[in-house]
Each structure stands twice: as structure tokens, then as C-alpha cells.
Structure 1
Amino acid sequence: MNQDHELIESTPVVVEDRRPEAPPDVVPGTTLGSTDLPPRPFDRRPIVPTWIRDARQRKAFVRWLAAYAWHTSAFHTVRLPKYLARIVLQAPLGAGRAIAALFRWVTDAEGRPLRLSAIERGDVTGYMSLSRQRNNRVRLRLTTTASLAACAVSALGVAGVLWPRLSWAVLALMVALAGWHGRRENRPFLDPAVVVQRARKLTPDLVTHAFQAAGLGKEDNPVTFPRPICRDGDGWLALVDLPYGRKAADALKKHQDIAAALDVDEVQVFLDRIRGEGGSARRVALWVADVDVFAQKPAVTALAKADQVDFWKGFRFGQDARKRPVRLAMVWSSLLVGAIPRMGKTFAARLPAAAAALDPWVQLFVFDGKGGKDWQPFELVAHRYGSGARTAVVEHLVHVLHELVEDMNDRYERLRELPNDLCPEGKLTPAIARNKQLGMPLRLVCVDEVQRYLEHPDHGKTVLELLTDLVKVGPAVGIMLVLATQKPDAKVMPDSLRGQLGIRFAMKVMNWQSSDTILGAGAYPDLDASKLLRAHKGVGILLGSDDGALTEFGGQIIRTDLMDLPTLQKICERGRELRITAGTLSGVADGGDYIVEHPAPRLLDDVLAVFTEDEARLWSETVIARLAEANPDAYDGWSPTDLATCLKPYGVTTGQVWGQTPDGRGANRRGISREAVLEALAAGCD
């Protein structure tokens, strides 16, 4: 696309299919011979090119043309002094070339080899004939040249008297023509305004060569093109039919080989299956971008300007490499987002929650295992909210999941009793969900860094069981889950939970095993998130694995829309206003406080409490055992080293303490004295 001397044509020529076609008299349904090919359905080419009819492509072309024209004109305008100097320096050479050419023409230099040949052959008659012809031609050309020169000089003389400035214009024109004629043939006269890309234009010959180099065709059996190669957005689009017998899946596996044959980076090459009525098991769409599209600035989420969202109809999640919007429908399904840290995992997981925030009939349940500010704006709209992985939050999550499971079971019972005209498919409907009397709104449960809850020593197993129960049968009654993790490990998130999540979004991971954990077993090698670049923030493979519409597209490489914290704050504020207007503000957003915080223990007081009045010193192991028995939530799992580390800031140190073992024997072990604890308490009070 980036050329300063050539504008790109929008409709290149189609490569002709050189393979034999099916006989015209073959009746559909009859058996063909072994050498005959099955007939293809009639495919009409559009009367008006696609890029003219499509507003997005039309705007992209106009933007490119305007930017191209502005940059090229500005580039050459700045270099006008250089071009003028080049013309002046090359003018003498050009003038010499012009005079030499005129001299050769006037003297009939082109006929000299014929005359010399006649002399060598001794052909007197032929030579005399050629000489007379040469004399007549030279006389005519010399007379014509002299006459034209005299007329030109006379005209210039008269014009110089009448218009004095005209002589300078004529002189400048002659110098310019001489300079242009004296230019070097191995170097362009004008400097290129842009860097020439190696694959600036996708042609049928180039694509055919690339597929042959990848082992997907031969010279006597090449790929063919059902439609012309054309511009599509910021790249070239080619529909390619592989040779009969070769599958489209074979081409997808040769992605890197095709990119190498096209001499571009594989991040600029995209291959997709063409399914349905206009597709074939051997047809693929090859799109080659002009630049690395995912290295450009991401699009800001459309939710930032949306007044309200109907969560039943889905929402924009991001866009693919060709800048086509990708919508996500969460109703009837659940989402798993997995990636290594700092790849945009939380940003992606927040998009469904933000869309739900703009639908006042959706209840939000948000738990952030990491803590911090990433999900804090959702406190304005969330029905339940928890941040961090401390014991009180984990206990609250377990309680909420129990409530959701009970509500899920109750919904099935109540849906069974509703009339068929109100509940025609036995599932939740928009009318039912928005009926306050029925009390069955859509519920979206978002759990970021879910592995922190699943790995909890006391409640992890319970959290796993409850999440699995919800994800299996909850979507049909309007309870959906969004789980995000930076640890896509089969041990942390077993297949009993992971395998039930209908939508998967895998961003950059470290290896193909982690990619398979997120996308599902068998996704590799066709889909491998470990090949994504670290520089591509927010880019991942989106895959639908349930019966939703997303499943038909297969794995798509997309980039999520950008939604930073200020934008999210405004969205949640708008969502709060919508809930207040609709009368659906509830839970935490309505002022409820459901997390029971355990008071932080006062270590010195607790340590002093384990001493009896007649005990002056105790072993550290005895102290931590009594602490764990009195307050297991705070001290369970402590070691003598932990006790010594925590007491050191208070000035209490451990030393050798004499005591008796359970069998009555005496021994010296590390311990603390009651007097040291009392002194530390007194110092703290002072």
C-alpha cells in the first residue's frame, strides 16, 4: 500500500482455473467418473466492488488516500531545493545527450551498419542505393532542423522583446528538460516518500507461489481463486481454493510457512476457514495486513459512550485483525480468561461485567482475588462484592456461592410451574428476568484470580464444588460465570470445572500445555496461545466450545477493547443511575455490608494470655500450640520461627528456656519469658 509512484488498484485480475471442469451435461446427483470433477455452485460476482458498498472499507480507503496524498506532497515540497540542484547539475549531461541524439538522427547514423555491410559484401548497386537514400534523408533532416531552429529563434526573439520575462521561463524549461534527460537510469529522479514494503500488493502469482512453497499445491495443480484479490481494510484479502483433496485445516497448520513465502512476519498473515453455503472444506480466506495490526493503538470500548446495554443481545468485546467487531453473548454460557501476568487479563474479564453494569436488570457478583483497585468501581453497582483472599472474604464467597446454588435449584422448580406461553423452552426469558415479582434476574458472577480461592487450604474444595455446580446448570436459568486466572493449571482448575465453561479466551501463556488447558484438550497445534507476542497486550484466542453462535467461527485471534479505570468508573456511575431509576439497586451497592471481618489479633496480649500465673518461661512450641488452640484463624500453622519473627519488633527475643517434655525429662529449648512480654506491653502503653 505504501508506494509514492503507484496507487493500488482495488480489483486485480483473477487467476484462471486451469483444471478441467465438470462436463456441462452432468446431472446433479449422478455418479461422475474418476477423472471428472464435481460441479461447483454458480457464484455471482458483485456488480459493485465490496470496498465501495461497505462503509467501513470505503472510509478506510479514503483515510489511506488522504494520508498518502498529504504525506507525499509534504515530503516532495520539502525536497524541492534538492531536486532543483539535481536538475541543474544534470542539465549539461542531458543537453549533451540531446545534441548527440539529434546529430545521429540528422546524419542518419542508424543506416551506417547497412552501408558498411554492403561494402563488405561488395554489393556496389546496394551501396549506391543506400548512399543516395542517405544523402536525401540527411538533406531533408538538416533542412527541417535548420528551419525549425530558425523559426524558434525568431519566435523567441520576438517574444523576448514583447515579454521580457518569457525568455527566463523558456530557459528554465530547457534546463528542466535537459536535467530530466540527464538523470541516472539506476536511480529514481524523485526520492521515495515512503518505505517500500516487501509485500505491498497481494497478487495471484504471489499467493500461488506462497502456497506451493508451503506444500499446498503444485505447478500442474495449483490453488485457484473463486473471487478477485482485493483490498479489505488495512490489508489484502484473497479467497483461496486448495487443490481437490487438500483440506483447509492443512493450510491453517502451514500458517508460518505461508508467511515466510510471502516474505512478511507471521503476525501480519491470517488464515480462516470459510464455512457454510459460500464455503468449502478446501476454501480458506487469506488476509495479509500492511503492518502489525495488533501493535497499533487499541480501540476504546464502545461501552464508554453507551447509555444502556441489553445484556440479552450481547455486547462488543473487541475486534479482529481486520477491525471487524467481535460481539460476545454471555447469556446461556460462561467465560474463562487465562493469561500470564500483565497481558490484559483483568481488562478482558471486566468487559462483560461493565456491560452487565449498564443493564439495570442484571445483578453483579464481583470477587477480586488479587485485591487492589482493578474492580473497585463495581462497588457502585454490585449486589455482592469482595476484594482480596483473606479469610473473611473467602468465607463470604462460599456463603454467596451457596446462596446462588440454592437460588439456581429454586429457579428450576419455579420455571417448571410457569405456563408454557410464558416459559416456552423451559429456560429463563427476558420477560421473566425483568419481572420483579418473579425475582429471577440475570446474575453475572465475576471472579478474578480465581486460583487464590481454589487454593485456599480450608475452603478451596468447597469453592470448586460450588463453582462447578453453577457452571454446569446455572446458565439456563440466568446465572453466568466469568472466571479469570493467571495460573491455568489443571490441578488448580480441574476439567470438571474448566470443561463446562462455554467460552474461552486465552491470551499469552508460557507453553502449549497451558494454552490447551484454557482452550480445551486438542486445541493444539491449530490453536496455540503461547505463540502470541508479549508486546500484543489484550490479544488472545477467543473460542466458543458450547452450542452458541461463537462456536461456528472457531478460534479467532482478537484484541479486546480498551477500558481503563476512569472509563470504568464512569460506566459504573451510569449503571448505578440506571439501577436507581429502575428500582433494582441492591446489596452492597445499596449500602449492605455482608463481610464479617475478624478483628486483627493483638499479638502481645494473646501471648501473655497463654501464660499461667505460675509460669515464668515457656518454650516457643508450647506458646504457638496454645495460640492456635485459642485462635486458630489467626495462629494456625505458625512455627517457632514465625513467633520469633513477629515478636522481634516489640523487643521480645527468644532464648534458651528450661522445661520438661511430656515424658518428664528436662531439656533446654528456644522460648520466651513472661517478664519480657510484660515489659514490651508496658513500653507500648508508654
Structure 2
Amino acid sequence: MTAVPLDAGREADEPQPVDQIREPRRTAFDRITAHREAAKHPIVVPWVRDRDQREPILRWAAGYAWHVARFHALRLPLYQWRLLRRAPVGLLRAIRWVVDEITDAEARPLRRSAVVRDDVKEYMQLARERNARVRHRAVAAVALAVPVAALAFAMLAPVKAAEVGADGTVLSRVPMISGISWWVVVVLAVSALGVIGRDREKPLITRATTPLHLAPVLRADIVEVALRALPGVVKKDARIEFPDPVTRDGPGYLARVNLPVGVTPQDVMGKRAALASGLRRPLGCVWPAPGPHHGGQLDLWVGDQDLATARQPAYPLLEKGTADVFARLPYGTNQRNGRVGVQLIENNALIGAMVGQGKTSAMRVLALGCALDVTAELRVWELKGSGDLGALEQLAHTYGSGQDDETIRGCLEDLRAIRAEVERRAGEIKKIAKRSPEMCPNNKVTRDLANRRDLGLHPVVVLLDEVQNLFSHETYGKEAAKLALDIIRLGRAFGVILVQATQRPDADSLPKGISSNAGIRIALRVMDDYANNAILGAGMYAAGVRATDFTVRDKGIAWLVGVEDEPIVAKSFNITTGMAERVCERARKLREQAGRLTGHAIGAAVELSKGPDLLLDVRKVLANLGTDWVWSQVAAERLAELRPETYRGWSADTFGQAMKARGVTTKQLNRTGPDGQRRNLWGVELDQLPDATRSGDASG
């Protein structure tokens, strides 16, 4: 009877039960291919090849060695006194050790035990062995002592004639070694006896440093215990694998872990405090992150020192060098002390934090990088009035500092001008793309286009600090929010960059459209998950990206989203006001040499109202309607038809706020509309418009 295969009669493409599918046997070629495609471990540890990591480590090692050398050199007499004081005890211990060795003292308890048990046979056997050992050891001791004594006598005895008389008689002799060498021998002998006689509870040498935290070496078993202790993450019998051994990685350890099936790195990141407790490390030393190979892999980096207290290298552009807005600007360092850069071009940035956690400092670091690019035009509005960005005033095309109505209005007018500039640049890019497509691939500003002054496509960086004071302003807030949103959405491709910082990321102070369209988000310490997600994006808190874990001592440390493929942690460079002044003075000289200083920096008045004139546009709407009044809702609709790129999305309330910002307050108008119905709605009359507007050209 012929056996029938399990898959007989089955179509070739018909699915088979999993338990009936035979896995093909792996050949030697398959194994070679797997190794060829596998990730190769570095031949030299990464920190040795990375200058940013290598230099701080070597600098610390040299400084530590110099401190230890000076510390112990000063206490050398004290150490010698301790050795001298313990030398007699050491001599007695040495004599006792020699006597015990010769007399076979280690077997004495065995002989006593035989006596207690009245075991004559065993005692006699032990006694014979003891006598043989003593005899052999005594002979060896004498054989060793004779040459040692002869050598000492030869070194100390007078063997060389120092003075010889006229008759050949030797008048004096000197020993083989000089007086200094003799004292060296004595010191060495006393030191050796002092070490032998030392007190185990009182160290001879004082510690030069006292470590704040002596953490044990990180091992795989320690990591596994900590992971299994996380509440609600790893089941009791779940399998945890370590595809690579735990290794040193910069100033810390890297453990790559394959988590149990169904557990993600985000689950562990959300329990970072509990993980730090399990590892017995400070919270600032423990940084879990997703691994590179699959969704269940965790890269756990554990530092030797808390990130908040670790020594950070100086700002790399402090004394020399320039920057490029089209490349990465230096921002700070990560947990491994490696540099972190931020590329602002084609991005907009949002920075948020509690008061006093380094928000303005983070903005200042980015601003200084832009300042050292002579082609970048800076528009700086510090809406707190503290002058934290005052060093940039000598470079800025427009500048304002304060939270008063006049400064807020100036910022609004600048946003109008920037919105009009975005529209101009769009037209310029369209012309260039039509004439020479290769000059602007994807219809975006490039470095080559930015370098050409005739095109006016240089980068424009707008810095808005404490932006909540602008967006929550009763009169100017809504229009400013709309302008900012338009700039964020449209200006990105045309070299216009908006960097905003806020300490109050709520719906009124930070409109959702603005926060959700920022490509780069930087969150320093915040208090709750709402603020965390408002800055970093929805779902970040649940994914374990939590700026709420930072404490007061973590000033300057932030989560960065949009800088790399995955969220990262970085500490911004610590730049004081004096440092910022020095950098800006150097940046001003570079701009003077390049002829790039404009506007406020050279004392020139900047015309901010370059955008459409709302009052004149209202005049045009009234002319088109053929009336001397208009309701706010109708005005908003007609304005959107007149200039959709400027007024699209305006409501009656937006129109009222914008008119109030220009000195015209809407009022209730009880009028009959085009449909014949009489209504009492808010609106404006022609007589309310300023005289200059009424006499203006309304035909356009």
C-alpha cells in the first residue's frame, strides 16, 4: 500500500495548515548570507572614534589624575609617618609568620584534635610529618638567610679605599652604597613592614575623591530583574533575550533587549521611574528607547552620571566658526555626551516649558546659530520684556521687547509683512521654476538661491518668545494666530522659519493649528500630560515621551521630536548672557563684512505694514456693495472673495477684532439686508473709517 502525502490533491497555491508546513533546512550558504547582512559590531568602541565623546572623557581623566597626584603628594609625609608607626607591628607579624611556617603551625589544630580523641596512631603519623616539614623548612630558611646576610654585609661593609697614605696604608674605607642610598633602603624596608603591620580598619592612604554614586557594573541579569519588576509590563514566565552583550557606550552602558512578545519599548519608557528603581540608579541615568531592528527591541542606555549633573562641553561656536541654516545648527548634547543638531530649514519650531526651566535659553541657542549665518534675516520679538534675547538686537532686522500693547501691535504688523513676503516669494519661486527648474527642485528655496541677493530668497527666521502674550491678546490675538498659521503652512518651502516659545500651552494661548503644524517640538519640564501632548504631539505621553518626568534640577533638558526619526533627549548648551553678547558681536562683524546688516540693526526704520490694508479693503467692499455700511459677517465673506489668500476663514468676530486693532470699533447696525429682512447685527459704517482711508484709492 502506497503512502499518500499529507498535501496530496491540494492545489499549489492553496494554503496549508501551519503545523504541516516544513521549514526548509538552512544551508551553509544561508548562514553565511545571514552573517553578511548582520549588523557589524564596531572594532573600536564608539566613544574613542567620536571626538565629541572622546575629548571630554580624556580631559576628565587627565584632570582627575592631576588632582589625585597633587592630593597624595601633599600627604606623603603623613603616609610615611603612618608606615613608621606600624613598622614594629609589621616586624612582629613577619617574625611570627616565619616561625609559624618553619614550625608547621597550620597543622597544629589537627595534632590537638588527635590528642583530644586519644588517637595515638593518627597523632604519631602527624608528628612524623611535622618533624619532616620542620627539618626541610629549617634547612631552606638557613639556605636563604645566608646569601641575604652576605649581601647585606657586602653592601654595608667598607670595601673601597677612600684615602691611602704615602706608605700605601689605607686610611679609610666607605661602604658599597652611599648614605642617600642607605636611607632609601631603610625607607623601603620600613614601608614594607608598615604595610604588613597596617590596621585593616584604618587605611594608610586617604581617598582623593568621594564618589557621589558608586553604581555596580550593569549586567544582563540586573537588567532582566529590573524589567521583570516593572508593574504590569512583563509577565512572570515571559522570555527576555539579549541579542548582544551589555557593553560600554560612552560614559555609560548599553543593553539591547528583545522584549517578550506583545511588549513594546514604549511600555518600558512609560515606566522609566520604576525601571530606574529596579536598576538602583538615579532617574537621570536611565534612558530606554526603541531598538533599531524590530518593534519589540529595547535599547536601554544607563549612564554613569545623572544627565543634569554631567559636565557638558562648551558651545562649539562660542569663540570661532560660522553656521548654516540649511544644515544642522548646534543645540546641545545627548545622554552619551554626543552633539545634537537641529535643522530649521523647511521646519518650524515650538518650544514649551514651565517658567524657569530653560525655554528661552533653548531658543537663544538656536538663534545664535542663525545669527552666525550671515544670509539669515532675524526678526526677534521677546514678548516678556526681560531682555533675554537682547544680545540679538544688534543683528535683528526687526526687534521688540515687552508685553505692552505697542510691542504686541508691532509684532502683529511684522507678521503681516512676513505674510506678504511669503506671498512674494511664492511668486518668485514660481517664475524661477518655470524658467530654470533645476535651480529650485521641488519648488523650494535652496542654498544657492538664498545666496543670490537679487532674488531676495535668503532665510527669514522669526523668533517669538512668550508667544502666549500675543495669541491671547484681546485685540490682536486672533489675527496674529491666523497670520502665524499661514506663515507656518506656506512659508516653510520659501525659507521662512517661525520659532515660537511659550510657558502656557493651552488652547487659548497656543492654537491647535499652530502647535500641530510645527515640525520640530522641544519640551522641557511641564506639569501634566495635557501640556506634554500640546507641545510634543498627541499620544506622546502614552508612548513614554514624558517631559513631566523632568525635575527642577533638570533645567535645560528636553524631549526633542522631529529632530531625528525617534524622539530624543538633549540638554541645550548653557549660554549665559555674556556669552551670547560675544557671539552676537562676532556675528555682527561677519555681517558687516558681508554687507548683510539691515533694518533695526543699522538704525533704519522698517516699514512693517507691507501687507494688504484692511481699512482700504473694507472701503473697496463698500464700493462694490454700493452702500455706506456693512455687517461684519458680510464684510468677512466679501473680503475673502477679494483676497482669499489673506482673509479666507475670517468670521464676523475675526473681522471685528481686526478692525478694532486698526482703531475702528464695530457697532450694532439695525438695517435691512439684501433679502428684505431687517436685522440688528454688528458691523461698520463708512463714516467710521479714517479720513486717509476714505480719500485713498478704492478702485483696485
TM-score range, shorter chain: 0.7 to 0.9
Scaled by the length of structure 1, what TM-score is found?
0.73
* 8 Å contact from structure 2 (residues 391, 584) kept in 1: yes
Partner of 1:231: 248
Q: Does 1:588 align with 2:605?
A: no
2:455 alignment partner, one of 438, 448, 460: 438
Q: Deviations over 1:383-428 (max 9, x none)?
A: 2223323333333333322232233234334433432223331222
* Partners of 1:191 and 1:24 in 2: CA distance: 66
Letter paired with 2:548: S
Contact 1:241 1:283 in 2 (8 A): yes
- 1:376 to partner: Cα distance: 3.4
Q: Per the alignment, in what secondary structure is the counterpart of residue 445 of structure 2? A: coil
| Alpha-carbon distance between aligned partners in 2 of 1:413 and 1:490, rounded to the nearest angstrom | 34
Find the residue that maps to 2:255 and give its secondary structure: strand
Instruction: Give the C-alpha shift of residue 207 in structure 1.
Output: 3.1
Superposition pairs of residues 450-465 of structure 1, within 5 angstroms: 450-465=467-482
Per-residue CA distance 1:348-403 (angstroms, 9 max, x = gap): 22333333333233222222212343333434332222332333333333332223
Question: What's the offset of the Cα at 1:522?
Answer: 1.9
The equivalences for 1:636-647 within 5 A come to none
Q: C-alpha root-mean-square deviation of aligned residues, in Å?
A: 3.7
Aligned to 1:553: 566
- Residues 374, 596 of structure 2: 8 Å contact kept: yes
Paired residue type of 1:329: Q
Question: Structure 2 matches for 1:200-219, cutoff 5 A?
Answer: 201-214=217-230
Q: Following superposition of structure 1 onto structure 2, how do residues 159-178 of structure 1 map, counting pairs within 5 Å? A: 159-162=155-158, 163=175, 165=179, 172-178=187-193
1:493 corresponds, among 486, 500, 510, to 510
Separation in structure 1 between the aligned mates of residue 592 and residue 143 of structure 2, nearest angstrom = 96
Amino acid at match of 2:580: L
Q: Aligned partner of 2:572: which letter? A: T
For the 8 Å contact 1:238–1:285, the answer to whether it is kept is yes
Contact 2:387 2:401 in 1 (8 A): no
List per-residue Cα deviations over 1:496-527 (Å, max 9, x = no partner).
Answer: 22211111111223333222222222221412
Q: Cα offset for 1:583? A: 4.4
Counterpart in 2 of 1:362? Answer: 376
Aligned to 2:349: 335
> Which residue of the partner structure matches residue 13 of structure 1?
none
Alignment partner of 1:67: what SS? Answer: helix
Deviations 1:233-275 (A, max 9, x none): 3333333333454322222123222222222211122222233
For the 8 Å contact 1:347–1:562, the answer to whether it is kept is yes
Q: TM-score, normalised by structure 2?
A: 0.71
Residue 532 of structure 1 corresponds to: 550
2:185 and 2:582 mapped to 1: Cα distance? Answer: 68
- The question of 1:386 aligning with 2:382 is answered no
After superposition, residues 30-49 of structure 1 pair within 5 angstroms as: 42-49=38-45
Counterpart of 1:588, as a letter, is: H
User: Which of these residues, 179, 182, 189, is aligned with residue 197 of structure 2?
Assistant: 182
Amino acid at match of 1:202: L
Aligned residue number for residue 414 of structure 2: 400
Structure 2 SS opposite 1:558 = strand
In 1, Cα distance between equivalents of 2:94 and 2:488: 84
SS in 2 for 1:294: coil
How many residues are matched?
A: 565
Partners in 2 of 1:217 and 1:633 — Cα distance? 59
Corresponding residue to 2:74 among 68, 71, 78: 78
Are the equivalent residues in 2 in contact too, given 1:199–1:262 (CA < 8 A)? no
Gap regions ≥5 residues in structure 2? 1-21, 159-174, 609-659, 666-700
- AA partner of residue 528 (structure 1): R
Counterpart CA distance in 1 for 2:401 and 2:539 is 35
Q: Which residue, out of 276, 279, 287, partners 2:301?
A: 287
**Per-residue deviation, 1:282:** 2.8
The residue identity in structure 1 corresponding to 2:102 is V
Q: Distance in 2 between matches of 1:209 and 1:60?
A: 33
Q: Identity rate of aligned residues, in percent? A: 33
- Name the residue aligned to 2:62: 66
Q: How big is each residue's C-alpha offset from its partner over 1:422-451, in whole Å with a ceiling of 9 and x where there is no partner?
A: 333122233333333333332221111212
Aligned to 2:164: none
CA offset digits 1:197-243 (Å, max 9, x no partner): 32153334433433343367689766444444443333333333334
Q: Aligned match of 2:316 in 276, 295, 302?
A: 302
CA distance, structure 2, for counterparts of residue 167 and residue 27 of structure 1:
74
Asked if the contact 1:198/1:264 (under 8 Å) is kept, the reply is no
Name which of 501, 510, 518 aligns with 2:527: 510
Residue 94 in structure 1 maps to residue 112 in structure 2? no
Match of 1:610 in 2: none
**Other-structure match for 1:609:** none
Q: 1:307 to 1:145 in 2, by over 3 A?
A: closer
Deviation digits for residues 468-518 of structure 1 (CA, Å, limit 9, x no counterpart):
121122212222111112222222212122211111111223333222222
User: Which residue of structure 2 aligns with residue 271 of structure 1?
Assistant: 288
One-letter amino acid of the structure 1 residue matched with residue 401 of structure 2 = S
Q: Is the 8 A contact 2:547 2:559 kept in 1?
A: yes
Q: Give the match for residue 134 of structure 1.
A: 130
> Is the 2:251–2:336 Cα contact (8 Å) retained in structure 1?
yes
The Cα of 1:183 is off from its aligned counterpart by 2.7
User: Does the 8 Å CA contact 1:200/1:290 hold for their aligned counterparts?
Assistant: no
Map of 1:194-205 to 2, 5 A cutoff?
194-196=209-211, 197-199=213-215, 201-205=217-221
Amino acid at match of 2:193: A
Flag the 1:304–1:174 CA change in 2: closer, same or farther, 3 A.
closer
- In structure 2, relative to structure 1, the CA distance for the partners of 1:431 and 1:117 (3 Å cut) is closer
Cα distance change, pair 127–309 in 1 and its aligned pair in 2 (3 A): closer
Determine if the alignment matches structure 1 residue 325 to structure 2 residue 339. Answer: yes
Q: How far does the alpha carbon of each residue in 1:615-655 deviate from its partner, in whole angstroms, 9 at most, with x for none?
A: xxxxxxxxxxxxxxxxx999999xxxxxxxxxxxxxxxxxx
Q: Which structure 2 residues correspond to residues 43-58 of structure 1 after superposition, within 5 A? A: 43-58=39-54
**Distance in 1 between the 2:313 and 2:114 partners?**
78
Take 1:175 and 1:360, find their aligned partners in 2: how far apart are those partners? 70
Inter-CA distance 144–188: structure 2 relative to 1 (3 Å threshold): same
Q: Relative to 1, partners in 2 of residues 1:531 and 1:434: Cα closer, same or farther, differing over 3 Å? A: same
Indicate if the aligned counterparts of 1:415 and 1:423 stay in contact, CA closer than 8 A.
Answer: yes
Determine the structure 2 residue equivalent to 1:641.
none
Q: Provide the rounded CA distance (Å) in 1 between the counterparts of 2:116 and 2:23.
A: 64
Q: Per the alignment, do residues 401 and 106 of structure 1 end up closer, same or farther by CA in structure 2, a change over 3 Å counting?
A: closer
Question: Does structure 1 conserve the Cα–Cα contact (< 8 Å) formed by 2:90 and 2:196?
Answer: yes
2:642 corresponding residue in structure 1: none
Shift of 1:146: 4.3
When residues 369 and 209 of structure 1 are mapped into structure 2, their CA distance, relative to the original with a 3 A threshold, is same
State the shift of 1:316 in Å. Answer: 0.8
Q: 1:524 to 1:154 in 2, by over 3 A?
A: same
- Return 5+ residue gaps in structure 1 as ranges: 1-21, 31-37, 545-549, 597-631, 638-686
Q: State the match for 2:674 in structure 1.
A: none
Instruction: Confirm or deny: 8 A CA contact 1:156 1:167 kept in the other structure.
Output: no
Separation in 2 of the partners of 1:299 and 1:128? Answer: 75
Going from structure 1 to structure 2, the CA distance change for 1:52 and 1:145 (only over 3 Å counts) comes to: same
How far apart in 2 are the matches of 1:580 and 1:157?
A: 84
The answer on whether the counterparts of 1:56 and 1:233 sit within 8 Å (CA) in structure 2 is no
Is contact 2:463-2:500 (8 Å) kept?
yes
